[in-house]
Amino acid sequence: MNFELDDVQTLVRDTARRFAQEEVAPLAAEMDKTATFRMELVKQMGELGFMGVAIPEQYGGGGMDYRCYSIVVEELSAVCASTGVVVSAHSSLCCDPIYRFGTEEQKKKYLVPLASGRMLGCLGLTEPQAGTDAGAVRTTAVLDGNEWVLNGTKIFITNGGQAGVAVVIASTDRSAKHRGLSAFIVPADAPGYKVAKEEHKLGIRASSTAELVFEDCRIPKENLLGQPGEGFKIAMQTLDGGRIGIASQAVGIARGAMEQAIAYAKERQQFGQPIANFQAIQWKLADMATEIDAARLLTWRAAWMKDQGFKNYSREAAMAKLFASDVAMKATREAVQVFGGYGYIDEYPVERYYRDAKITEIYEGTSEVQRMVISRALLRD
Amino acid sequence: MKIMVPVRRVPNPDVKVRLKKDGTGIETEGVNFLVNPFDEYAIEEAVRITEKSGGEVFLVSIGGPENEETLRAGLALGAHRAYLVDLGGECYESSGIADILAAVFKQENPDLVIMGKQSVDTDNNQAAQMLAAKLGLAQACFAYKVELQDGKAVVQREIDGGLEVKEVELPAVITADLRLNQPRYASLPAIMKAKKKEVKKVTPADLGAEPKNRARVLGLSEPPPRKAGQKVASVDELVDKLVNEAKVL
């Protein structure tokens, strides 16, 4: 793995950074306040290839590698964590499984509009009784002639309210438990597909988190993704990639908060001098920078393994997400502290970063699950 | 239409520039370099013209091997190919740069040259005018709007208090001001395509150019740090200070 970015990666970073600062940053506070994502950003990002960074150009994507995907999510998240997760959940959890497990027809029909940003995607995995225990999914899918009929409820679905397509994990054989799960491509306009409610959240408020209800929801037989019974495998492999996205988001949140703290520390005068002159502040910044770099390197390693075609990088993706989400929490907490009272009010953006950071320890596998994944890998032999 | 767009590699203007200890130049270690922002307007304008009515845009960047990165960034914005003129560590002031650009012009015979009105590092604002002079071409600097019509370019320029409209015969040298257009972002597929576009590496000698320096940089130094301001209690005190301390009245 190369620590330095090559010419292409540098250009990707510069473009993403500029887009984030010029187009996303001015909207971030407003989108957070109104808890509404501006869908025109999806269109704009689609035109730039950001909605499918690691999907080949022939399927509407950017044709880059996962390292570039990580870079784009970090840059977006450094100004707006909601935008970061809209892209990450869409790319890792919806585009990626269709790209990896879909048929050519499925890719043409669903991946192309998704990766080119004409449509937003989501993954329907979590249920009221099946969160960390993903194998306990109760949504069912029954074949009826040429159609699958889905019944069940999915909750906490990122992008759920605005998605045009959902990859849904449902049971096709309850008795086989997690081996009886299968994956389906469910268009939002399928009969029986309903967005039941939108959650009100602490952070990443601009990103939609919705409950999806399937009531005799009918989809064509050919919308089965992969083989029957492959649903759990597809979900777990999808989450491995997703964790690289969330780790990148966490790195971005942490870096954005640190940059705000550095700028403020140089400006804010107390006792007749900038507070950046005080060791108490300097050490906070030093710790932030060190931890952010470490988190990014873990994230890039996992991305590199995925790019190299490693079959199993679950442990490394879990490490990246576990560590980066922890760093995001610490860095944003300390950034608020550097701002003092001003950090606690919404005149400055650091309070938003602080609220946004928490979810990175929870979604796409809690920190406890990441530790489970890592320790299982350690104790397997 | 064939359009030549010279592009310059500049340190990221948002980053504070630091001088080398010996004052011979700026510290480049760890500095992020970008395409000169005014040149991006030039590239955008040229690319739009060729998108509308065909032709090609070629870029020219003068410097060292590292300028390839700058050229790839420009190619990702839609230019078709590029020249990298390697100075082999030499450095030229505007007139020498214009000599090299003129040599490229003579090889390629483009219909138009569009370039940034100045680079944001040295802010000389000279190369374009000198290039036009050396080639005996018409020039229209600080373009706000460019319209092409049979062998001519009608260029609106922003001047103090209004707009000036200038008609120049082609080929001509036009420089871009910041309100000329809104440059696009490089899309990821465009970045990938840029990787495969031709960057022809040449030296001034290859081009038959003999650039000469008529000025030499002897040294660079930082401006003295600004002194803290003062607060005055009354207009009288202000006037007194302006007269007696600042001695400006």
Known active-site residue A364? yes
Share of chain B above pLDDT 70, in %: 100
Q: What chain A residue is nearest to B194 in terms of C-alpha separation?
A: A8
Sheet holding B162-169, edge to edge: B162-169, B152-159, B138-149, B172-176, B112-116, B2-6, B56-63, B81-86, B199-202
Specify if B15 maps to a domain: yes
- pLDDT score, position A216: 98
Check if the beta carbon of residue B9 is closer than 8 Å to that of residue B44. Answer: no
Q: Specify the higher pLDDT residue, A2 or A353.
A: A353
Question: Distance, in angstroms, between A21 CA and closest chain B CA?
Answer: 12
Output the pLDDT for position B249. Answer: 82
Instruction: Say yes or no to pLDDT of A1 above 90.
Output: no
Residues of B in Cβ contact (< 8 Å) with A47: 187
Q: How confident is the model at residue A237 (pLDDT cuts 50, 70, 90)?
A: very high
Using the Cβ of A60 and the Cβ atoms of chain B, whether some distance falls under 8 Å is answered with no
> pLDDT (tens digit, 9 = 90+) per residue, A2-11?
898 998 999 9
> Average pLDDT, stretch A14-31?
97
Count of Cβ atoms closer than 10 Å to residue A310 Cβ: 12
CB contact under 8 A, A48 and B73: no
Contact A19 B185 (CB under 8 A): yes
List, as ranges, residues 73-92 from B with C-beta within 8 Å of A: 73, 76
User: What pLDDT is attached to residue B32?
Assistant: 86
CA neighbours within 13 Å on the CB side: how many for A234? 31
Q: Shortest Cα distance from B9 to chain A (angstroms)?
A: 14
Cβ count within 10 A of residue A340? 12
CB-based contacts of B192, cutoff 8 Å, min separation 6:
A8, A57, A62, A63, A64
| Residue B143 covered by a domain | yes
Q: Given a cut of 90, is residue A100 above it in pLDDT?
A: yes
Q: What is the mean pLDDT of residues A258-275?
A: 97
Phi, psi of B229, deg, nearest 5: -75, 175
Q: How far is B176 from chain A (nearest CA, A)?
A: 21
Contact A90, A45 (CB under 8 A): no
The stretch B220-236 carries a mean pLDDT of 88
Distance from CA of B124 to the nearest CA of A (A): 26
Round to whole Å and give the CA distance between A116 and A47.
6
User: How close, in Å, is residue B206 to chain A by CA atoms?
Assistant: 26
φ, ψ of residue A38 to 5 degrees: the values are -85, 105
Amino acid A219: pLDDT: 98
- DSSP codes joined into one string, A153-191: EEEEEETTTT-SEEEEEEES-GGGGGGGEEEEEEETTST
Sort out which chain A residues have CB atoms less than 8 A from B196's CB and list them: none
Pairing state between β B56-63 and B81-86: parallel
pLDDT confidence bin for A60, thresholds 50/70/90: very high
pLDDT at residue B176, rounded to an integer: 96
Strand B138-149 to strand B56-63: parallel, antiparallel, or no bridges (unpaired)?
A: unpaired
| A contact test, residue of B191, B192, B196 with most A CBs within 10 A | B191
> Measuring CA to CA, which residue among B118, B110, B125 is closest to residue B79?
B110
The mean pLDDT of B67-79, rounded to a whole number, is: 96
pLDDT of B215 above 80: no
Instruction: Provide CB contacts within 8 A for A264, sequence distance 6+.
Output: A338, A339, A342, A348
How do the residues of chain B divide into helix, strand and coil, expressed in percent and rounded to 5?
30, 30, 45
Domain-embedded: residue B249 = no
Instruction: Indicate the pLDDT class of residue B61, thresholds 50, 70 and 90.
Output: very high
CA A82, CA A37: separation in Å to the nearest integer?
Answer: 8
In 3D space, the residue among A75, A81, A320 whose CA is nearest the CA of residue B188 turns out to be: A75
- Which residues partner with A154 through β-bridges? A212
CB A90 within 8 A of CB A43: no
Determine whether the interchain pair B192/A7 forms a contact, defined as Cβ–Cβ distance below 8 Å.
no
Amino acid in the structure at residue B113: V
pLDDT band of residue A35 (cuts 50, 70, 90) is very high
Which residues numbered 139-178 in A keep a CB inside 8 Å of some CB on B?
none
Q: Which of A2, A5, A160 is nearest to A74 (CA)?
A: A5
Residue appearing with tokens 């005080």: A278
Element (H, E) at A215: strand A209-220
Chain A to chain B, count of Cβ pairs less than 8 Å apart? 51
Cα distances from A257 to residues A140, A194, A229, B30, in angstroms, run: 43, 37, 43, 22
C-beta atoms of A8 and B189 within 8 A: no
- Name every chain A residue with its beta carbon within 8 A of the beta carbon of B34: 14
Reported ipTM? 0.88
Architecture of domain A121-229: Beta Barrel (2.40)
Considering CB atoms only, which of A11, A57, A61 is closest to B76?
A: A11
Residues of chain B in contact with residue A10, where contact means CB-CB under 8 angstroms, are 69
Provide CB contacts within 8 A for B241, sequence distance 6+.
B230, B232
Q: What is the pLDDT of residue A177?
A: 87
Give yes or no for A10 touching B (CB within 8 A): yes
Q: Which residues of B touch A15 (CB under 8 A)?
A: 76, 185-186, 188, 191
User: Which residue does chain B place closest to A54, by CA atoms?
Assistant: B188
Note whether B10 and B86 are within 8 A (CB).
no
Separation in Å, CA of B194 to nearest CA in chain A: 9
> Residue B69 and residue A10: Cβ atoms within 8 Å?
yes
Instruction: Please report the sign of the dihedral spanned by the C-alpha atoms of residue B35, residue B40, residue B43, residue B44.
Output: positive
Q: Give kind and range of the element (H or E) at residue A254.
A: helix A231-267
Angstrom distance (rounded) from CA A84 to CA A95: 15
Residue of A nearest to B34 (CA): A14
How far apart (Å, rounded) are the C-alpha atoms in residues B114 and A285? 45
Q: Which of A283, A312, A252 is nearest to A79 (CA)?
A: A252
DSSP-derived 3-state class of residue A368: helix
How high is the pLDDT of residue B214?
77
A13-A18-A20 Cα angle (round to 5): 95
pLDDT recorded at residue B161: 86
* Residue B135 maps to a domain: yes
Identify the CATH class of A232-379: mainly alpha
CA distances from A287 to A280, A294, A334, A359, B112 (A): 11, 11, 10, 22, 53
How many C-beta atoms lie closer than 10 Å to residue A259's C-beta? 14
- Residue range(s) defining the domain that contains residue B233: 2-244
Does residue B210 lie in a domain region?
yes
- Angle between the N-to-C axes of helices A350-357 and A231-267, in degrees from 0 to 180, rounded to the nearest 10: 160
- B54 within domain boundaries: yes
Average pLDDT, integer, range A43-62: 96
Here the tokens at position B78 are: 């839609």
HEC string of B198-213?
CEEEECCCCCCCCCCC
**Average pLDDT over every residue of A292-311:** 96
**CATH numeric code, A7-115:** 1.10.540.10
Top residue of B188, B195, B196 to mutate, by most chain A CBs within 10 Å, is B188
Cβ A55 vs Cβ A112: under 8 Å: no
pLDDT over threshold 90, residue B219? no
Contacts of B191 in chain A (CB under 8 A): 8, 11-12, 15, 64
Give A62→chain B minimum CA distance, Å. Answer: 5
Contacts of residue B225, defined as CB under 8 A and 6 or more positions apart, other chains included, come to none
For the segment B212-232, the average pLDDT, to the nearest whole number, is: 84
pLDDT digits 0-9 by tens, B127-170: 999 999 999 999 999 999 999 998 999 999 988 888 999 999 99
Domain count across chain B: 1
Nearest to B72 among A7, A47, A50 (CB): A7
Q: Which of A10, A14, A43, A71 to mutate to test the interface with B (most CBs of B within 10 A)?
A: A14
CATH number, residue B207: 3.40.50.620
B68, B69, B192 member nearest A63 (Cβ): B192
CA A287 to chain centre: 25
Distances (CA, A) of A258 to A171, A281, A327, A332, B127: 44, 11, 11, 7, 41
Give the other-Cβ count within 10 Å of B222's Cβ. 9
User: Does B225 have pLDDT greater than 80?
Assistant: yes
Contact A7 B69 (CB under 8 A): yes
Instruction: Find the closest chain A residue to B30 by CA distance.
Output: A4
Residue B70 lies in a domain: yes
Mean pLDDT of A240-258: 97
Please state the domain extents for chain A.
Answer: 7-115, 121-229, 232-379
* B window 177-206, beta carbon within 8 A of A: 185-189, 191-192, 194-195
